[in-house]
A and B are shown apart, each in its own frame.
Chain A
Amino acid sequence: MYHRPRIIPCLTMIDRGLVKTVQFKKPRYIGDPINTIRIFNNKGVDEICILDIDATKKGYSPDFEFLQEIASEAFIPLSYGGGITTVQQIERLLYIGFEKVIINSAFISNPDLIREAVQLAGSQSIVVAIDVKKNLFGQQHCYCRSGSERINVVPLDLAKKAEAMGAGEILLTSINNEGMMSGYDLQLVNEISSAVSIPVIANGGASSIDDFYSVIKTAKAHAAAASSFFVFYGPHRAVLITTPSEEELIKIGVYHQ
């Protein structure tokens, strides 16, 4: 059977600039989002995820004007997260050309938003983002507000709750692995993916297409998101937008013809 798990560039943004973080910290400026989206679109990636990592912390609404410019460059599926607190904002994001919205902090402060959003836009448009940090003792905790606030719920319970509320997908990020380019947290991904029946997008840690293979085949992720992998090149992390070729992904067994 044909199978093409999505390989998704996940782009983080602050003040209309693309940044790359390490463990959700030390944002480094990468470039202009619109230009970057144009490149990814031309390369024909499976989907693009855009996160404004400053919006919730600073209390901003989504920057609709700018997001509309971004959307007009992409003829592939687009999702957006950052600062979403109301159904009206979700409606507007879909209207300007985003297929999916990603909700993290508002899912914690107002879980009913998910139910309302699903009622309006359908499950397939609503993604819940779960950010997980392991402490020194290996205990997992969920975080919101771009990793700045700890929540007293384990990832498994939060994932099940998201599914029960009607979310269509989970974007699961390991804060420890994010930006480290040391591979995904396979155990975490496997745990969550096996426990819910909705797709789980694994995020955080990819450094090579072998990591995509492991997270999809071993840890049962439905899709793999990455950022450093797509924007950095070489040991000194020079900024360069690269995407794996279709042939490479077929050869390694990520895509099946």
Chain B
Amino acid sequence: MIGIIEYGIGNIGSILNMFKKLGIEAMFVKHEDDIARCDKLMLPGVGSFDVAMTRLHSSGLVPSIMKHTIDNKKYLLGICLGMQMLGKSSEEGSMPGLGLIDMKTVKFIGKIPSNLKIPHMGWDLINIVNPDDSLVNDIIRQPRYYFAHSYYVENDKQNEILMTCEYGITFTVAVRHDNIIGFQFHPEKSHIFGMELLKIFAALK
């Protein structure tokens, strides 16, 4: 069972819709007891960093998410802002992130040519930089994914970077630290390419 963390933020309906389409069991989780029933968790998120962190903390779910991820070593997948929340900090806000991966979120403004529009919005190709990882080595054709973001994560550990993308600069769009995974793009809105990836995630042992 995949649990989609419901904390008042994000397009969680789309994620559940895609799992339904794929015939994969998934549910929204709002209570600690729900988390115990899940072997994988997803942390969705759109919006601004501090609002999302505040809501996640007030949901009371953070201790169970930490227990699931750190003590029980079960999978946690953050999507978009949810990926950024896995890191330590964000230039978008002043609150600390969950600190599960050693990375920080920074803004595009000032780092990419000014003729490029911000947000980075639309479909883009990605480069797979760690092709042996079990999350990406089953991807058959060149994927393109849907992006919508004004901030991106900086991660210094090369072995944790699974995919990068180019938009004025090359930046990380998929990270993995053991059982903790993050995607900057929206697999739930990336049609067949997103379906392929979520299927692989659902099958991870």
Q: Cβ of B141 < 8 Å from any Cβ of A?
A: no
Considering residues A2, A100, A222, which has the most beta carbons from chain B within 10 angstroms of its beta carbon?
A: A2
Whole-angstrom distance from the CB of A212 to the nearest CB of chain B?
A: 14
| Contacting pair A4 B122 (CB below 8 A) | yes
| Contacting pair B192 A46 (CB below 8 A) | no
Docked Cα-Cα span, A119 to B51, in Å, equals 7
Contact partners of B8 in chain A: CB under 8 A: 91
If A46-B123, A91-B8, A222-B117 touch, does A97 touch B48 (CB 8 Å cutoff)? Answer: no
Docked Cα-Cα span, A1 to B112, in Å, equals 14
Q: Cβ of A111 < 8 Å from any Cβ of B?
A: no
Docked Cα-Cα span, A46 to B123, in Å, equals 7
| Contacting pair A124 B148 (CB below 8 A) | yes
| Contacting pair A223 B122 (CB below 8 A) | yes
| Contacting pair B125 A71 (CB below 8 A) | no
Q: Kindly state the interface size class of chain B when it binds its partner.
A: 35 or more
Whole-angstrom distance from the CB of B163 to the nearest CB of chain A?
A: 14
Q: Cβ of A44 < 8 Å from any Cβ of B?
A: yes
Closest to B11 in A: A94
Q: Tally chain A residues at the interface, Cβ within 8 Å.
A: 39
Q: Cβ of A168 < 8 Å from any Cβ of B?
A: yes
Closest to A6 in B: B122
Q: Cβ of A96 < 8 Å from any Cβ of B?
A: yes
Docked Cα-Cα span, A168 to B10, in Å, equals 16
| Contacting pair A44 B124 (CB below 8 A) | no
Q: Cβ of A29 < 8 Å from any Cβ of B?
A: no
Q: Cβ of B205 < 8 Å from any Cβ of A?
A: no
> 8 closest Cβ contacts across the A-B interface?
A97-B13, A124-B148, A122-B47, A97-B14, A124-B119, A2-B125, A96-B13, A199-B117
Q: What are 28 inter-chain pairs, A to B, with CB distance below 8 A?
A: A2-B124, A4-B123, A5-B122, A41-B191, A44-B192, A71-B13, A71-B17, A72-B20, A75-B191, A75-B194, A76-B146, A76-B190, A77-B189, A94-B46, A95-B13, A97-B11, A99-B14, A99-B46, A121-B47, A122-B81, A124-B46, A125-B46, A168-B150, A169-B119, A169-B121, A198-B119, A199-B119, A223-B122
